Amino acid sequence: MHDLVIKELSAGEVNYEEAPIVTLEVDGIEYRIDTGHGSAVAISQRQQGTWNWTPVTEGRWDGSRLRAKCLNHVVNTALAEALSAAMGEREERGAM
């Protein structure tokens, strides 16, 4: 992973005490997506059963597609589907 991205995320405003937009487990690794600035999202990971999250990359969400170069296709696709579902649920709750 690019060191600059890690430094930006580490120094950024990801508050792991707050609820993430999405959490998902893929192949024994837990991922979480938190809000960023504009269309940016912060993606972090940890091994199952551990407490500490590690920043992975900053992704871009355009409302239907997640772009995150550091993630493999399987993880990126799974996170995109979970993020799309979470955003749909938020819109439904907002319409009530």
SS (H, E, C) the chain: CCHHHHHHHHHCCCCCCCCCCEEEEECCEEEEEEECCCCEEEEEEEECCCCCCEEEEEEEECCCCEECCCCCHHHHHHHHHHHHHHHHHHHHHHHC
Which tens digit of pLDDT belongs to each residue from 1-47? 344 444 445 445 688 899 999 999 999 999 999 998 888 999 999 99
Number of domains in the chain: 1
Specify the pLDDT at position 95: 57
Domain of 67, in residue numbers: 3-95
* Interval 82-94: pLDDT, tens: 999 998 888 888 7
pTM for this entry: 0.81
Rounded CA separation 93/64 (Å): 19
